[in-house]
Structure 1
Amino acid sequence: MAVDMDLQDWIGRSQEAGDVLRAQPAQFMQATLDREPSLKDGDLLPPLWHWLYFLEAKRASELGRDAHPKKGGFLPPVSLPRRMWAGGRLTFHHPLILGQAAVKRSTIKSITEKSGRSGSLCFVTVAHEIIQNDQCALTEEQDIVYREDPAPDAPTPQPAPAPDNPEFSQVITPTEVMLFRYSALTFNGHRIHYDVDYARQVEGYEGLVFHGPLTATLLVDLARTEMQKSPKRFSFRGSAPISGSASFHLEGRRSTDGIDLWARRQDGALAMSATVQF
């Protein structure tokens, strides 16, 4: 399917945002994960916790039906209503330091429209650079997917099974408080994370949806704990949503050049896969 010329015009658009990596959001993140809020200025920011910063605050009148900002500003005006963060790739060049200023530069890298089993899809890839102390600390590519609303009589997609050979594992039990706190920390107004009626009746989920970025954050944290070292590269891809209150597993095993990771739902389905290189 060819890319609509109006959407094509968004490729190459860029924006820049500055922020001070204050310790308080990182402390609040620690508390959200049931950890002692001990991080302070001068400490290193844990991997993927940069998503707590450089946040955009749109007026309430500038939000769409799902409480995300309306499309057509920096992101292209894709007509499909459902938005998900499908995956990403990150390279960690230098540690980010709490208490210091940083700059985030973002560019629309590609826009691709496709047809899938569930209907029309549009993939938007955004490239980011985070600069601190005049050096690039982190580069990232985010894959955002837009989808159609599910038809009332549409069959539930059958996700692929997760691997069954983990070397280590961790159980995560979602709570409404955890989802609310992470939404608040990232200023994410997407209703699928706190409005269960909207999640079920409009977007077709079984319940509140566990944040994909939070799943990725917990996976890289598990790998860092297992290896006792900081990652150099991390990539992840969402395969199926985690929704409802059932516990799920974060699992992994060592590979020739790092760790392969995945999130396994209670029904055995693969929710997210990831790789870490050190």
Structure 2
Amino acid sequence: MNGFEDWIGRSQSVADVLTLARANALDVTLGDKGGLKVGDALPPLYHWLYFWDVKPPAGLGADGHPAKGDFLPPVGFPHRMWAGGRVIFHMPLLLGATVTRTSTISAISEKTGRSGGLVFVTVRHELDGGEGIAITEEHDLVYRERALAASPAPIPTSAPQAPWMETIDPDPVLLFRYSALTFNGHRIHYDRSYAVEEEGYPALVVHGPLQATLMARLAARRLDAPITRFDYRGHQPAFDGTPLHICGRPTAEGAEVWTQQGQGPNMVATVYYTGPI
């Protein structure tokens, strides 16, 4: 682990205002009317729009992310991905509120995968809007030793059979706008030559958090009740140029939701909620 154990327990706190304009901009970007108002509850997973980590050009890595070694450990592997996470909603956060996010590195582990060495870093976030912890989140990052072997983009298939389903076109404009709204500089989402030639992807990559947000929105609309927990995990990347299906089905505790391009899911999630089916 090269001394990475010393990074476990490292913590930092930042504050941000849940501005109305940013939440409504995402709402419109995803096809809604953007009618949110100050004092409304922040929709599920919209907190990812805030707490930007703004670094000067000298503080960025070659991939466009903030360079490692500040808060995150200086893992030597060059390629990073958003692998999944778990989010618990204790109480609503209200638009217009000032929120403090405290982040702590809770785990670091090494594994070996098909692309070589992997390092997993789990960061625990606690968000407090002034009345106690509103959201507890564990966020899993994975660092890869080598770029992926070049592979073809998924072949579109007929829409999956699911009780709930919506389909979007994850085109470069949508990916750029989500990158801008979240201040995500990772080049795999907007720089096609970098994504293909440096990281080994066949096309631009659809953000993991964008897919998770689309799944949470689908579940929230269909369940019509507050979501209390959202556990999600990436299975395989999704790309621009191919329709992305957002699918779901109700369960006794809430719902199972997933995204899909071609064969098999891209991201899956389990949703827990309060209220009857």
TM-score w.r.t. the length of structure 1 is 0.93
Measured in 1, the distance between the counterparts of 2:255 and 2:10 equals 35
**Structure 2: unaligned runs, 5 residues or longer:** none
Question: Which residue of structure 2 lines up, in the alignment, with residue 106 of structure 1?
Answer: 103
Pairwise CA distance, 1:244: 2.6
Residue 27 (structure 1) aligned with residue 29 (structure 2): no
Residue 4 (structure 1) aligned with residue 7 (structure 2): no
The amino acid that maps onto 2:6 is: D
Q: What is the percent sequence identity of the aligned residues?
A: 49
Pairwise CA distance, 1:158: 12
Pairwise CA distance, 1:19: 0.9
Q: Secondary structure at the match of 1:26?
A: helix
Aligned counterpart in structure 1 of residue 91 of structure 2, from 90, 94, 99 = 94
Q: Secondary structure at the match of 2:175?
A: helix
Measured in 1, the distance between the counterparts of 2:251 and 2:263 equals 22
Question: Which residue of structure 1 lines up, in the alignment, with residue 265 of structure 2?
Answer: 270
Question: Which residue of structure 2 lines up, in the alignment, with residue 221 of structure 1?
Answer: 217
Map 1:22-101 onto structure 2 (within 5 A): 22-101=19-98
**Structure 1: unaligned runs, 5 residues or longer:** none
Change (3 A) 1:207 1:155: closer
Map 1:76-155 onto structure 2 (within 5 A): 76-150=73-147, 154=149
Pairwise CA distance, 1:131: 0.3
Residue 203 (structure 1) aligned with residue 199 (structure 2): yes
Pairwise CA distance, 1:157: 10
What do residues 111-147 of structure 1 show as CA deviations (whole Å, max 9, x unaligned)? 0011112210000000000001231100000000000
Is the CA contact 1:170–1:249 (under 8 Å) kept in the aligned structure 2?
yes
TM-score w.r.t. the length of structure 2 is 0.93
Q: Secondary structure at the match of 1:98?
A: coil
Is the CA contact 2:79–2:147 (under 8 Å) kept in the aligned structure 1?
no
The amino acid that maps onto 1:201 is: E
The amino acid that maps onto 2:139 is: Q
What do residues 80-129 of structure 1 show as CA deviations (whole Å, max 9, x unaligned)? 11110100001000001011111000000000011112210000000000
The amino acid that maps onto 1:93 is: H
Aligned counterpart in structure 1 of residue 177 of structure 2, from 170, 181, 187 = 181
Question: Which residue of structure 2 lines up, in the alignment, with residue 172 of structure 1?
Answer: 168
Aligned counterpart in structure 1 of residue 246 of structure 2, from 250, 255, 265 = 250
What do residues 27-82 of structure 1 show as CA deviations (whole Å, max 9, x unaligned)? 11112112212112111110000001111100111100001011000000000111
* Matched residues, number: 270
Q: Secondary structure at the match of 1:243?
A: coil
The amino acid that maps onto 2:226 is: S
Is the CA contact 2:150–2:201 (under 8 Å) kept in the aligned structure 1?
no
The amino acid that maps onto 1:115 is: T
What do residues 192-244 of structure 1 show as CA deviations (whole Å, max 9, x unaligned)? 01100000111011111111000000001101111111200000000100113
The amino acid that maps onto 1:47 is: P
